[in-house]
Amino acid sequence: MSTSEEPAPAGVVHRHIPPASLARLTIYLRALGALLADGVERVSSDELAEAAGVNSPKLRKDLSYLGSYGTRGVGYEVSYLSDQISAALGLTRNWRVAIVGAGHLGKALAGYPGFGSRGFEVVALLDADQMVIGQEVGWLRVSPVKDLEGVVQRTRANMAVLSVPADVAQELCDRLIESGITSILSFAPVVLQVPDHVQLRKVDMATELQILAYHAQRAQASEIAAKARARLGT
Amino acid sequence: MSTSEEPAPAGVVHRHIPPASLARLTIYLRALGALLADGVERVSSDELAEAAGVNSPKLRKDLSYLGSYGTRGVGYEVSYLSDQISAALGLTRNWRVAIVGAGHLGKALAGYPGFGSRGFEVVALLDADQMVIGQEVGWLRVSPVKDLEGVVQRTRANMAVLSVPADVAQELCDRLIESGITSILSFAPVVLQVPDHVQLRKVDMATELQILAYHAQRAQASEIAAKARARLGT
DNA sequence: TGCTGTGAAAGCGTTCACAGCG
DNA sequence: CGCTGTGAACGCTTTCACAGCA
């Protein structure tokens, strides 16, 4: 298990964690953190699965992509498993995040608690608005987005968050990539074009709400249908 | 095509759109809106797919879950297709959204532009902090979260957004459900427990960043491996 | 005996090639 | 002839049952 595909350079590089598992591993990590804070030393897959809101075979399968870190008949040691997941996700490195756009969203992100911890550090906060530039937000001062390239270089940022209006998102995305950033998390409600070597993830609130609306509408519709059927039945 | 499972009460209820398609349909809708604003009347699946960042067979498959709204040899009429997707997603109803938590994130959401349009209306903004209660945010005044039940009832909210700290999220989630809300979008970094009839969706920035970190780490690792190989090769 | 780790089967989602109309 | 609509094949996820250790 947990073989590397090449002679392996120093650290163990795991062979491909499926995207669906990857997303859940971050949830397990958070649940383990909570257990650790509570002083819990061991968990079974059932308990951890419960805390993470999944079923236990799925959790065990997910963990099996990393290796065998449990003890049969006993369970998992909380701190050890937490470390192993962190390592597999690349959270032992220190990621330096530049937040582009210092509106309410950008400020919310800059102040996000689970952000500073877990290997992420916000090293820059940028905005185009003269009224906002120079403001202090937490430990940071808002830099002019005009100087994006310089700021990225000086702060050695290696990740970026885009929290800007849709109409300027592509332009700023291009400039980030030009500056050497290859990992971008975008909150802008537009489809961004990026080259293959750049990792782009999107968070889209409009999409989320619309999906909720779809389910709510269906629930309502089938409720109405049920009532109609009941009326006809009696 | 597009059959309904029961005698069909008034509007056509489509038989189950796959989750993955559903998420993409919201993107197509946005792209169609942009085309509409530009005065474009017709699109081919190739063009729309390009705008939405997917390949065209996938787009056509997605649209086929709704019905056959295109013209072979020609393409799709922008406004008609837009209406059909809106109808299928339940965006013809008016959704009344209560935002719980008026920190930076809550305020950002309250002011979100693509929010007011497309059938969503923010009808309440609540917070626990005395300093924030009573503040005006856009057209709204922040209400005390203590009166959540009353506010939900008075405003006839039928959806809620949770933008509160993790430690109070479950409690407020329970109160929302108690108040009759069955669709909740949570930004709190915790696993929330909800009954089956409630639709809960989560947006988790920590998860997104960690997924980016994983890919960035892998890219780096394989780069290092490549360099090592190059050195050994020469 | 108890709980982990995992192959094998079932269920979804995506891709593709092409049939079907305008 | 062009572009849509779709069945069938493929690949990825999830589920399950149970083999494997402590």
B219 close contact with A: CB closer than 8 A: yes
Whether B15 CB is under 7 Å from strand D: no
B53 close contact with A: CB closer than 8 A: yes
- pLDDT band, residue B116 (cuts 50/70/90): low
Identify whether residues A119 and A164 lie together within a single domain: yes
d(CA A219, CA A201): 30
Higher per-residue pLDDT: A232 or B50:
B50
In-domain check, residue B133: yes
Following DSSP, what letter does each residue of A150-216 receive, concatenated? HHHHHHT--EEEE-S-HHHHHHHHHHHHHTT--EEEE-SSSPPP--TTSEEEE--HHHHHHHHHHHH
A chain contacts of residue B201, beta-carbon cutoff 8 Å = 208, 211-212
In-domain check, residue A229: yes
In-domain check, residue A117: yes
Of A52-61, A114-123, B134-143, the poorest mean pLDDT is in A114-123
Q: pLDDT of A135-186, one tens digit each?
A: 999 999 999 999 999 999 999 999 999 999 999 999 999 999 999 999 999 9
Identify whether residues B101 and B193 lie together within a single domain: yes
Measured CA distances, B78 to A153, B14, B109 (Å):
44, 21, 28
Whether B44 CB is under 7 Å from strand D: yes
Nearest by CB: A213 against B89, B112, B224: B89
Among A186, A216, A175, smallest CA distance to A106 is for A186
For residue B182, the SS3 value is coil
Mean pLDDT of B132-142: 96
Q: What confidence score (pLDDT) does residue A12 get? A: 54
Q: What confidence score (pLDDT) does residue A226 get? A: 75
For residue B153, the SS3 value is helix
Report the nucleotide nearest the CA of residue A58, measured to C1'.
Answer: D14
Q: What is the CATH number of the domain that holds B33?
A: 1.10.10.10
In-domain check, residue B59: yes
B22 contacts A214 by C-beta, under 8 angstroms:
yes
Identify whether residues B199 and B227 lie together within a single domain: no
Q: What confidence score (pLDDT) does residue B11 get? A: 46
% helix / strand / coil in chain A, to the nearest 5? 50, 15, 35
A58 close contact with B: CB closer than 8 A: no
Identify whether residues B63 and B114 lie together within a single domain: no
- pLDDT band, residue A225 (cuts 50/70/90): confident
Largest CA distance in chain A: 76
Mutation site for B-interface testing, chosen from A13, A86, A120, A211 by largest number of B Cβ within 10 Å? A211
Q: How far is B74 from chain A (nearest CA, A)?
A: 25
Q: What confidence score (pLDDT) does residue B232 get? A: 78
d(CA B205, CA A185): 9
How long is the CA B21 to C1' D2 vector, in angstroms? 26
In-domain check, residue B2: no
pLDDT at B143 over 70: yes
Q: pLDDT of B176-213, one tens digit each?
A: 999 999 999 999 999 999 999 999 999 999 999 999 99
Q: Name the residue closest to the C1' of D12 by its CA.
A: A18
- The mean pLDDT value of chain B amounts to 91
pLDDT at A77 over 90: yes
Burial of A88 (0-12, 13-18, 19+ CB in 10 A): buried
Q: pLDDT of A199-221, one tens digit each?
A: 999 999 999 999 999 999 988 87
* Phi, psi at B32, each rounded to 5°: -65, -40
Identify whether residues B109 and B177 lie together within a single domain: yes
Per the structure, the count of domains in chain B is 3
Q: What is the CATH number of the domain that holds A112?
A: 3.40.50.720
| Positive or negative: CA dihedral B29, B31, B34, B40 | negative
pLDDT at A10 over 80: no
In-domain check, residue B10: no
Residue in B with minimal Cα distance to A116:
B206
d(CA B79, CA A127): 36
Specify binding-site residues of A for NAD(+).
101-106
Residue in A with minimal Cα distance to B214:
A89
Identify whether residues A101 and A196 lie together within a single domain: yes
* HSE-CB for B15 with a 13 A CA cutoff: 8
B192 contacts A51 by C-beta, under 8 angstroms:
no
Among B163, B36, B88, B142, smallest CA distance to A205 is for B163
- The mean pLDDT value of chain A amounts to 91
Mean pLDDT of B81-106: 95
In-domain check, residue A3: no
Q: What confidence score (pLDDT) does residue A14 get? A: 64
Query: How many other C-beta atoms are found inside a 10 Å radius of the C-beta of residue B39?
Result: 7
Query: A229 is in which domain, residue-wise?
Result: 206-234
In-domain check, residue B196: yes
Could you give the residue ranges of the DSSP H alpha helices within chain B?
19-37, 45-52, 56-64, 78-89, 104-110, 113-116, 148-155, 166-178, 205-233
Residue in A with minimal Cα distance to B103:
A108
Q: How far is A104 from chain B (nearest CA, A)?
A: 5
Q: What confidence score (pLDDT) does residue A97 get? A: 97
Q: Which residues 182-221 of A interface with strand D at a CB distance below 7 A?
A: none
Percentage of chain B beyond pLDDT 90 is 81
How long is the CA A83 to C1' C4 vector, in angstroms? 19
pLDDT at B5 over 70: no
Can you give the C-alpha Rg of chain A in angstroms?
22
Q: What confidence score (pLDDT) does residue B134 get? A: 98
Q: How far is B73 from chain A (nearest CA, A)?
A: 27
Identify whether residues A182 and A223 lie together within a single domain: no
Q: How far is A72 from chain B (nearest CA, A)?
A: 27
* HSE-CB for A16 with a 13 A CA cutoff: 3
Q: What confidence score (pLDDT) does residue A229 get? A: 67
Higher per-residue pLDDT: A71 or B234:
A71
Identify whether residues B110 and B192 lie together within a single domain: yes
d(CA B179, CA B151): 10
Identify whether residues B48 and B116 lie together within a single domain: no
How long is the CA B82 to C1' D6 vector, in angstroms? 22
Identify whether residues B100 and B193 lie together within a single domain: yes
Whether A57 CB is under 7 Å from strand C: yes
Identify whether residues B73 and B124 lie together within a single domain: no
Q: pLDDT of A13-38, one tens digit each?
A: 567 899 999 999 999 999 999 999 99
